[in-house]
Structure 1
Amino acid sequence: MPTDPPAIPGPPAPEQAAPAPDKGPAASAPDAPAPVARERVSMFRSLRVRNYRLFFVGQVVSNIGTWMQRIAQDWLVLSLTGSSTAVGVTMALQFLPMLLFGLYGGVLVDRFPKRRLLFVTQTSMAVTGLALAALTISGHVQVWHVYVAAFAVGMATVVDNPARQSFVSEMVGPEQLQNAVSLNSANFQSARLVGPAVAGVLITTVGTGWAFLYNGLSFIAPITGLLLMRTRDLHPVRRAPRAKGQLREGLRYVARRPELLWPIVLVGFIGTFGFNFPVWLSAYADDVFHADAGSYSLFNTLMAVGSVAGALLAARRGTARLRVLIGGALAFGLLEIVAALAPTYWMFALLMVPIGMFGLTVNVTTNTAIQMNTDPAMRGRVMALYMMVFLGGTPLGAPIAGWATDAYGARAGFVAGGVVATAAAVVVGLVLVRAGGLRLSVGWNHGHPKVRFVPKEQAEGSAVPVTTAA
């Protein structure tokens, strides 16, 4: 009887000894079956690692501050200017450095110890948050101050994002990488439950400056965690020596591997056109439902509820599956279209939950598949490319989303983002199926029809296909 299609294959984790032998075209296909028994994964097993536990706790505190600053920053800009376009410009400035310098950040991450780089980036973001807090609380803040702060955080993120993403494997090793990546996402999204709620209370009671102040002080926690780590317990990774052409080498590495290239293309479209929630949600709260910052905070909180659920479900999965990535992206785009047309406040708000769940599913599945399929010596550059495409597309998409929202209304802007995400999921899904040498096949399981993608040879040779579980 047919079973679930296997996980996305790739090279063995770099920490392993040698590459697996070549088993023919099917072995290199992005969704080729592999006869490996599936291990039941404990949802929180990577937290048994002391270094990762320190990292995780520090990120809990810091991520709450990050979400507080995001909400406060967007609402402050909207209050100062009354323009959704200005909110989009703020987003663009924060993510523009990733678009311009993201690949160079990846080269630095592959060359230098990631723990030391994280000291520098976390400290610089703390200083930025404290400076913005001082300006806002003193009543001297202007919109250009927010623009400068957003750009400064973006410059730190160029190195911080790929360093944090790839440092996970050095803390937990290849066996627990999938679980740790999923818990990282659950951590970030759980903070999203607390951060917007607290930010909404602070904004409406004492002002946005106090949210910035908490964010600046919150970086004490991850910096302390980095200082307390035992370096002898880290999994050493060979660092890339300084040499010419390392950036091009990383691009060629991804271009030769469809299991890396096409998921990155997919998240590029979704990140550029489908994740402009600060623009859309602030416009829905202000213009469509004529509400205050508390409603904007509620929308973000409900989306975070779904995101946490998606992350925890991913933590239970032992593998990163291609069908989960494509299915999650398709559901994400379709739900955005439905939410954009929702006629009532509460219907719109409740739809944020599944949107958050499927958006997080796309993020975690892509992140995990890329890390597990990448040689450690290339991981910084590959993760930088992934983050550059996912986050760096915002400088292009956010102003467009802001302009469309101002010109045609929040509903039209939201619909357009959902349409692009849906189309990208369909097209990339078909490309990956073709690249993997797969075809659609219908079989029967206990009297019920089952639709699966299977290798072409298998579908042609059997009326009732049988696949092998990963």
Structure 2
Amino acid sequence: MTAPPLGARRPASAFAPLANRAFLGLWIANLLSNVGGWMQTTGAAWEMTSLTREPILVAALSAASTLPMFLFCFFAGVLADRFERRRYIILCQWWMMGVAGVLAVLALLGELSAWNLLALSFLMGLGNAMNAPAWQAVVPEIVAQSELRPAIALNSAGFNLARTIGPVIGQILLGLVGVFLLFFINSITYIGVIFAMQAWKRPPEAHAAQRREGFVEAARAGVAYVRGSGELKAVFARGLCYFVPGIALSTLLPAIGRFSLGLDEFSFGLLYAAFGVGAVSGALAMPAINRLLGSSRANICAMGLHALAMMVAALVMQPAVFAVCLAMTGACWMTVIANNSTSVQMILPNFMRARGMAANQMLFFGAMVGGSLLWGKIADVWGVRVALIVAAVSLVPFTALAASIRLPRTSSPRL
């Protein structure tokens, strides 16, 4: 299948990319894989709260899975720009399947501990780090330019739809069977992505557009491009303003759900799902919101709403109210991520796309790692309520700072 030609400038509907059979197949396979991933994530979080009551270790679980994105994502971007991206993605899927299988075996044997859970979460994060730049770089090769923004939003919506479904199913199975089954199911969901990626016929011209640079040369060129792009720096600066304070609620969610709110396994799964409900709603509403406000103003509004929701959640600390606030932050998170990712995709030429997206992911996950450890430490010393209040208050001036940084306007991806 060849990549669609650049389409008309008229904005595509939220569901237009699903008419593309290649995109639809990959989207469904990735959705199922992400359901398994979120089953594993919530199961691992619940298991960690069974192994320790220290908020810093619970927060470290989140940091362990995101730290590889900061450390290795750019390295992965260089590889994805040098090698055939379809085969590269398939190899990454096999790696993550293996890690999930090891987790399942350890859980079955009763050998899970806080430290090997952290170590294997790091290895799973390594697989995600190596996969992410290539995965994002192939999206413009599958859909038309006019469908790029909704395609990115649909990918994020699928991820968050899985975040809605996976925790609920996972926590039901956790109560009935145990965490072993969650890890095992996640391991087999990677098979669908492997088959879907093998079935996709990558356009020959897309591979030809990649430059055959040496590794060191490619790395230097990538760093030079990012350093020299004022447009990328603007997007990255906005991201830093949001992601460090904005990650507080998600990072502390396991400790809040089990210890502050006193939830059981099923209620904990529902609480996790609330964020996904909000994110999916945000993805579906985003085309209309962007048309009404513009992507730049939409991001600023989302940051302000996120700060408000965190403050209300911290002050009330009641399950139903907390779930509503969590859903609101999910919609805000979705809006900012999708608009930022689209801006980066539009800026980057194809030969630099994986490295540029890797730099974007490095900043995103680096901010998440730093924020996770920061809010985990504050919660460890002063409690989760204080950590949420401080995060909400700090997000207000950062929102004002982000408002002074204008996102670039680029009409089409660069070739």
1:301 counterpart letter in structure 2: A
Within the alignment, does 1:141 sit opposite 2:115 as a pair? no
Match of 1:321 among 295, 304, 327: 295
Residue ranges of structure 2 left out of the alignment (5+ in a row): 410-415
Residue 245 of structure 1 and its aligned partner are, at CA, apart by 4.1
CA distance 1:73–1:269, shift in 2 (3 Å)? farther
Question: For residue 422 of structure 1, what is the aligned residue in structure 2?
Answer: 396
Residue 293 of structure 1 and its aligned partner are, at CA, apart by 2.7
Question: For residue 63 of structure 2, what is the aligned residue in structure 1?
Answer: 92
State the identity %: 28
Within the alignment, does 1:382 sit opposite 2:356 as a pair? yes
Contact 2:137 2:357 in 1 (8 A): yes
Question: For residue 225 of structure 2, what is the aligned residue in structure 1?
Answer: 253
Match of 2:312 among 338, 341, 352: 338
Residues 82-139 of structure 1 deviation map (CA, whole Å, 9 limit, x = unaligned): 2221122222222222222222111111111211111011111011111101111221
Mapped to 2, the partners of 1:80 and 1:106 lie a distance apart of: 36
Classify the secondary structure of the residue corresponding to 1:219: helix
Mapped to 2, the partners of 1:226 and 1:143 lie a distance apart of: 34
Match of 1:77 among 48, 57, 74: 48
Greater helix share, structure number:
2
Question: For residue 412 of structure 2, what is the aligned residue in structure 1?
Answer: none
Residue ranges of structure 1 left out of the alignment (5+ in a row): 1-14, 18-36, 437-470
Mapped to 2, the partners of 1:76 and 1:288 lie a distance apart of: 17
Mapped to 2, the partners of 1:221 and 1:382 lie a distance apart of: 28
Contact 2:43 2:179 in 1 (8 A): yes
Residue 173 of structure 1 and its aligned partner are, at CA, apart by 3.5
Moved more, 255-264 or 178-187: 255-264
Residues 236-290 of structure 1 deviation map (CA, whole Å, 9 limit, x = unaligned): 5611222344334333333443432122222234333321444321222222222
> Residues 278-427 of structure 1: matches in 2 within 5 Å?
278-315=250-287, 321-427=295-401
Contact 2:278 2:328 in 1 (8 A): yes
Contact 1:270 1:421 in 2 (8 A): yes
Q: Given the two structures, how large is their TM-score scaled by the length of structure 2?
A: 0.90
1:149 counterpart letter in structure 2: L
1:186 counterpart letter in structure 2: A
Within the alignment, does 1:220 sit opposite 2:191 as a pair? yes
1:167 counterpart letter in structure 2: V
Residue 362 of structure 1 and its aligned partner are, at CA, apart by 0.6
1:110 counterpart letter in structure 2: D
Moved more, 129-138 or 281-290: 281-290
Please provide the CA RMSD for this pair: 2.5
Mapped to 2, the partners of 1:251 and 1:275 lie a distance apart of: 27
2:402 counterpart letter in structure 1: V
Contact 2:103 2:183 in 1 (8 A): yes
Question: For residue 39 of structure 1, what is the aligned residue in structure 2?
Answer: 10
Residues 433-468 of structure 1 deviation map (CA, whole Å, 9 limit, x = unaligned): 9x99xxxxxxxxxxxxxxxxxxxxxxxxxxxxxxxx
Moved more, 358-367 or 267-276: 267-276
Question: For residue 273 of structure 1, what is the aligned residue in structure 2?
Answer: 245
CA distance 1:316–1:355, shift in 2 (3 Å)? same
Question: For residue 186 of structure 1, what is the aligned residue in structure 2?
Answer: 157
Mapped to 2, the partners of 1:96 and 1:47 lie a distance apart of: 32
Contact 2:104 2:181 in 1 (8 A): yes
1:432 counterpart letter in structure 2: R
Within the alignment, does 1:121 sit opposite 2:95 as a pair? no
Moved more, 76-85 or 381-390: 76-85
Structure with larger Rg? 1
Contact 1:285 1:296 in 2 (8 A): yes
Mapped to 1, the partners of 2:317 and 2:127 lie a distance apart of: 41
Question: For residue 201 of structure 1, what is the aligned residue in structure 2?
Answer: 172
Moved more, 42-51 or 277-286: 277-286
Within the alignment, does 1:263 sit opposite 2:235 as a pair? yes
Moved more, 180-189 or 228-237: 228-237
Question: For residue 131 of structure 1, what is the aligned residue in structure 2?
Answer: 102
2:84 counterpart letter in structure 1: P
